[in-house]
Structure 1
């Protein structure tokens, strides 16, 4: 995992405070489904098309922290990339926060190397986060997660099929040499509607809590050469 040299800034909902991360790790968690049999079925499906099975479940893929961004416009060189809404677990100065992110991934590279496919793209995040006094008390089961691509609904459902935030973070810290450092961790996603990836330009992600609290983010992908 690479330490960032850029500052990642979030606004804390309801307080107006800001959280600034500079020296932190960035990780994308994969295969985070709560149903072990369903996860294995997915692994078997991927293996059938040539994707190597993960050495452990869940998997934690380190990404360059400098690619985690709340920018609204991003440049990508690949032709086949798509995003997915994911919960975002953040630790800063020993305190936890919750946000949302898009695990934008190069789908061509994904068939060759999942870790490299995730490192090939920026990881867009919403600029607003919610403070979490205790991860054990954070439940996302009744939260509604949605994403859109070019105005078309792409994902829609609750997050009750994912491992709990506390479980994901516990395993992250157990398996990775993070220690007391700050980190951001994308925590998994839900299926896309219809099962097919869409390689669009305009993306929107949104998560709504049962009390109506909503976090959202929009970003646009431009094809070109990154400077």
Structure 2
């Protein structure tokens, strides 16, 4: 678990500057609301060699230097792909909501999910919605997320199929005992529309909160030359 501060310059949807220095980055997985379906998915992955998680939801602490708002990232392998996720930020005595991409190395997943997630940067949008402290009441089920890869729709749907990210946060705080740390939490993702991973170059992520401006993230991926 990282305790190194990395500063990020963000802005609220109203244009106010936000500087954050998170000390912890956590990517949550298996956050589907239908736990029977989650268990079935875990068994499917286990059949192809992907290790089962230690807990459900699963939590993968990463180094905070994996976070980036850059428009381009470099990866070391060709089999990497993005996933749209709601991202909850706890910093500066308040909470913020934005959109991010958990971008893992798929070939490493059979070795270890933690390794696969740590292998690539974790892009987040530079725009956030300030929720206050405690987080303002948000109709999480009405939030819609989408992703595109190379211009083609890849994921789409409401967060109603997933555990509210504030519930995921509460479970992490209970497990970690680190309730007061400056944290960036990726809250899990929706299934792929066609069930097939794509290893594209151009990625676009979108989060729509009713009554708020939509938040978008775009980035390109290049494979690092050896």
Q: In the superposition, relative to structure 1, how do residues 212 and 183 fare at CA in structure 2: closer, same or farther (>3 Å)?
A: closer
TM-score by length of 1: 0.94
SS in 2 for 1:137: coil
Q: Which runs of 5+ in 1 are unaligned?
A: none
Give the structure 2 partner of residue 149 of structure 1. 149
Q: Which runs of 5+ in 2 are unaligned?
A: none
Give the structure 2 partner of residue 219 of structure 1. 219
Check the 8 A contact 1:94/1:180 in 2, yes or no: no
Residue 135 of structure 1 deviates from its aligned partner by 3.1
| Equivalent-residue separation in structure 1 for 2:138 and 2:4 (angstroms) | 27
Residue 108 of structure 1 deviates from its aligned partner by 0.3
| Equivalent-residue separation in structure 2 for 1:162 and 1:23 (angstroms) | 25
SS in 2 for 1:200: coil
| Equivalent-residue separation in structure 2 for 1:159 and 1:23 (angstroms) | 25
1:78-89 to 2 correspondence within 5 Å? 78-89=77-88
1:88-167 to 2 correspondence within 5 Å? 88-133=87-132, 134-135=134-135, 137-167=137-167
Residue 121 of structure 1 deviates from its aligned partner by 0.5
Give the structure 2 partner of residue 6 of structure 1. 6
Q: Give runs of ≥4 in structure 1 deviating > 4 Å.
A: none
CA deviations on 1:5-36 (whole Å, 9 max, x unpaired) are: 4311210111x322222242001001111111
Q: How many residues align?
A: 225
Give the structure 1 partner of residue 41 of structure 2. 42
